[in-house]
């Protein structure tokens, strides 16, 4: 069974409960020395929320993520490196985590041209971050109180630099679950085995007789069985943690609306249909697979139905184009999609929120910065997030005549100019009519920065704060070869003196041995990895007939 009181809440619980608004804020930190950093973690530990807390009705959430330099600083680099030596399958993730997002951006994530890290915002563009504090609350007052508390704690440690805050948009609760292009977001999420959440139809892995199985726990919580039948991350330090991908994605809303309306006018179709075909859902969230001709708000709101579909009945993408955003990013059992690739090994949990103000419906672009604070939870950054981004968002799919060369994700893909300008094929339902080909897709989304973080268990955070080492649990993670306990002997440090903000409860009692003195965190840029994430079949597709002049009736 999962120890939900050990698992940080944002791993298995979403911020928004039903339609309640969520106020979301991220604080990014650089640590100057390990003593202050440990003291901060000890101070904040009682506020850190677990999944069990949320289940008991706590809606005011603090989660702590650590980037690799912090793991190294706390003396656990060996735990991470040991995984590489012991477990081939984990190599990619530790490599990704260790190098950080910036080093993987160009070659793996497709962040080129405007999205190139050269153009990222600070502090993402230079140096490494050490930590992120993720705060969520259901009222504006509560998030302010929590920000004040955390801010007061941070001020006590001069060596800790608060390098950036990212606040999600405050829409006062209205349309909070709608991203800036106008679509309901956060609908389809994997259901996770033993997570204690409802297993809505469509959210797991396609099973027998059109049923759905929850995705194995180890795909999202470290130290548990995953879809390959393996327990990766056999180290107490990592157990019950997960990895969090943070990516700031700017949306060019004016450009998107202009493109859609021009394309619709040229083809003589409804602009709502063009944008729905790009996403795979209507703006309300109703899936094209279940409602191909018109939006259906009732279906969108029905959790038992709004995700209950497969693509096997739509081999040619006449309802939901093969290249649409949702079909690429979770092809389910799609016979025309990634073929032999087992989709269940590439699932991600999304916890994104919009930032910036809304562009009013009929307004021209106002040049304001707006987009998504895109957050992914996954156990293996390379096999899950990076795989999806590299192979399903940014590669041409291998579905022969059903997609086009340069047919990347029409919503978020890495489109380029000239010959490489994006194309998107919208097959039509009526026999004898030719598909719509959307030409010259520009880039609608630009990367502004990001980083990879570990979300350690409550116990691991406790040990970091106390400067002690988690005990080896013979029943739990197998660390019996000792490779997760191979830090060189060093002088033990006394546990740091935390500063307790008045209203925080006392931290729980310390246990076990003291770990070696902290190493200095590497601040230099990590060497970029040359290796790409595992590749899907990305055989070039056969060119489909451009059909500008043809009849373009779409279902
Ligand atoms: C500005 C950036 C993005 C926007 C506006 C956006 C928007 C959307 C929307 C409207 C949906 C359909 C509703 C839902 O199921 O939540 C969706 C689904 C999804 N998106 Fe995105 N998305 C963005 C970035 C990404 C990225 C970078 C990835 C992956 C690397 C991604 C992966 C997914 C997945 C996996 C689904 C669910 C598919 C399914 O299970 O059916 N999205 N997104």
Q: For 323-347, how does the pLDDT look when each residue is reduced to its tens digit (9 = 90+)?
A: 999 999 999 987 665 544 578 899 9
- Rounded Cα distance between 461 and 43, Å, is 11
Q: Tell me what pLDDT residue 18 has.
A: 53
DSSP bridge pairs for 249:
372, 447
Task: Provide the mean pLDDT of the chain.
Answer: 81
Tokens 């007052």, residue located: 141
Q: Best substitution site from 272, 355, 412, 414 to test ligand 1's pocket, by max atoms within 8 Å of Cβ? A: 412
DSSP bridge pairs for 394:
none
Q: Are 181 and 297 in contact (CB under 8 A)?
A: no
**Mean pLDDT on 403-409:** 75
252-256, 437-441, 467-471: segment of lowest average pLDDT? 467-471
pLDDT: is 51 or 210 the higher one? 51
Residue 134 pLDDT greater than 70, yes or no? yes
Q: Tell me what pLDDT residue 83 has.
A: 62
- Closest residue by Cα to atom 24, ligand 1, is 412
Query: Count of H helices and E strands in the chain?
Result: 14, 13
Q: What distance in angstroms lies between residue 299's CA and the mean position of ligand 1's atoms?
A: 19
**pLDDT tens digits, residue range 218-243?**
999 999 999 988 887 778 899 999 99
Report the first-to-last Cα separation within the chain, whole angstroms. 46
What is the three-class DSSP state of 136? Answer: strand
Query: What atom of ligand 1 comes closest to residue 190's alpha carbon?
Result: 40
**Tokens at 252, concatenated:** 């060019």
- Rounded Cα distance between 198 and 484, Å, is 35
73-82, 341-350, 433-442: segment of lowest average pLDDT? 73-82
**Mean pLDDT on 276-280:** 98
Q: Which of 303, 289, 293 is nearest to 334 (CA)?
A: 289
- Closest residue by Cα to atom 43, ligand 1, is 185
What is the three-class DSSP state of 364? Answer: coil
Q: What distance in angstroms lies between residue 44's CA and the mean position of ligand 1's atoms?
A: 32
- Closest residue by Cα to atom 22, ligand 1, is 412
pLDDT: is 485 or 333 the higher one? 333
Residues ≥6 apart with Cβ < 8 Å to 279: 181, 183, 324, 325, 326, 411
pTM of the model: 0.86
Q: What distance in angstroms lies between residue 294's CA and the mean position of ligand 1's atoms?
A: 21
What is the three-class DSSP state of 372? Answer: strand
What is the three-class DSSP state of 94? Answer: helix
Q: What distance in angstroms lies between residue 554's CA and the mean position of ligand 1's atoms?
A: 23
Query: What atom of ligand 1 comes closest to residue 412's alpha carbon?
Result: 2
Q: What distance in angstroms lies between residue 326's CA and the mean position of ligand 1's atoms?
A: 6
Q: Tell me what pLDDT residue 277 has.
A: 97
- Rounded Cα distance between 120 and 446, Å, is 10
**Tokens at 306, concatenated:** 């709004």
Q: Tell me what pLDDT residue 79 has.
A: 74
DSSP bridge pairs for 350:
376
Q: Which residues line ligand 1 (CB under 6 A)?
A: 179, 181, 183-188, 249, 251, 279, 281, 285, 325-326, 329-330, 348, 350, 371-372, 374, 385, 388-389, 393, 412, 445
pLDDT band at 400 (very low <50, low <70, confident <90, very high): low
Q: What distance in angstroms lies between residue 320's CA and the mean position of ligand 1's atoms?
A: 15
Residue 76 pLDDT greater than 80, yes or no? yes
- Closest residue by Cα to atom 19, ligand 1, is 326
- Rounded Cα distance between 84 and 407, Å, is 35
Q: How many CB atoms neighbour CB 78 within 10 A?
A: 20
Q: How many CB atoms neighbour CB 393 within 10 A?
A: 20
pLDDT band at 472 (very low <50, low <70, confident <90, very high): low
Of these ranges, 172-181, 368-377, 514-523, the one predicted with the greatest mean pLDDT is 368-377
**pLDDT tens digits, residue range 154-185?**
999 999 999 999 999 887 656 568 999 999 99
Q: Tell me what pLDDT residue 341 has.
A: 59
**Tokens at 364, concatenated:** 């021209």
pLDDT band at 270 (very low <50, low <70, confident <90, very high): very high
114-147 burial, b if ≥16 CB within 10 A, otherwise e? ebebeebeebbeeebbbbbbbbbbbeeebbeebb
57-71, 163-177, 385-399: segment of lowest average pLDDT? 163-177
Residues ≥6 apart with Cβ < 8 Å to 160: 29, 30, 31, 32, 36, 37, 40, 154
- Closest residue by Cα to atom 7, ligand 1, is 185
Residue 548 pLDDT greater than 80, yes or no? no
**Mean pLDDT on 540-547:** 31
**Mean pLDDT on 468-480:** 55
């Amino acid at each position: 069974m999962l120890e939900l009181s050990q698992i940080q809440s944002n791993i298995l619980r979403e911020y928004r409960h039903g339609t309640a608004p969520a106020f979301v804020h991220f604080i990014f930190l650089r640590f100057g020395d390990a003593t202050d950093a440990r003291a901060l973690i000890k101070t904040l530990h009682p506020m850190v929320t677990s999944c069990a807390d949320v289940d008991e009705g706590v809606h005011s959430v603090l989660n702590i993520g650590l980037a690799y330099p912090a793991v190294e600083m706390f003396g656990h680099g060996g735990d991470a490196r040991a995984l590489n030596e012991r477990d081939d399958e984990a190599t990619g993730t530790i490599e990704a985590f260790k190098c950080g997002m910036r080093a993987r951006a160009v070659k793996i994530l497709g962040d080129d041209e405007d999205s190139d890290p050269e153009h990222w915002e600070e502090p993402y563009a230079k140096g490494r971050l050490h930590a992120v504090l993720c705060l969520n609350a259901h009222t504006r007052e509560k998030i302010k109180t929590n920000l004040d508390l955390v801010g007061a704690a941070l001020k006590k440690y001069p060596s800790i630099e608060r390098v950036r805050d990212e606040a999600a948009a405050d829409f006062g609760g209205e349309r909070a679950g709608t991203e800036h292009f106008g679509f309901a977001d956060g609908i389809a999420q994997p259901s996770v085995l033993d997570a204690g959440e409802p297993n809505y139809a469509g959210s797991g892995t396609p099973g027998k007789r059109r049923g759905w199985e929850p995705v194995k726990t180890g795909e999202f919580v470290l130290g548990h069985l995953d879809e390959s039948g393996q327990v990766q991350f056999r180290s107490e330090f990592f157990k019950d943690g997960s990895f969090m991908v943070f990516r700031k994605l700017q949306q060019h809303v004016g450009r998107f609306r202009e493109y859609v309306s021009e394309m619709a006018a040229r083809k003589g179709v409804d602009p709502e249909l063009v944008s729905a075909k790009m996403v795979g859902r209507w703006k309300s969230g109703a899936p094209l697979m279940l409602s191909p001709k018109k939006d259906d708000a009732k279906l969108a709101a029905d959790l038992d139905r709004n995700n209950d579909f497969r693509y096997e009945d739509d081999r040619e993408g006449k309802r939901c184009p093969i290249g649409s955003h949702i079909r690429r990013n979770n092809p389910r059992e799609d016979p025309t999609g990634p073929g032999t690739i087992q989709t269940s090994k590439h699932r991600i949990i999304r916890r994104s929120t919009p930032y910036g103000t809304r562009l009013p419906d009929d307004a021209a672009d106002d040049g304001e910065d707006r987009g998504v604070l895109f957050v992914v939870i996954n156990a293996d950054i390379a096999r899950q997030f990076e795989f999806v981004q590299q192979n399903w968002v940014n590669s041409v799919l291998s579905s022969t005549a059903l997609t086009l060369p340069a047919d990347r994700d029409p919503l978020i893909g890495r489109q380029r100019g000239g010959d490489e300008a994006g194309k998107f094929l919208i097959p039509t339902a009526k026999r004898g009519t030719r598909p719509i080909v959307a030409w010259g897709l520009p880039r609608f989304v630009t990367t502004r920065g990001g980083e990879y973080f570990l979300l350690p268990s409550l116990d691991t955070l406790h040990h970091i704060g106390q400067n002690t080492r988690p005990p080896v649990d013979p029943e739990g993670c197998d660390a019996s070869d000792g490779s997760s306990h191979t830090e060189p002997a060093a002088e033990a440090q006394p546990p740091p003196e935390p500063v307790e903000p008045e209203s925080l409860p006392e931290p729980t009692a310390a246990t076990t041995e003291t770990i070696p003195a902290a190493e200095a965190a590497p601040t230099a840029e990590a060497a970029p990895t040359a290796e790409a994430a595992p590749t899907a079949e990305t055989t070039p597709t056969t060119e489909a007939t451009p059909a500008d002049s043809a009849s373009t009736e779409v279902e």
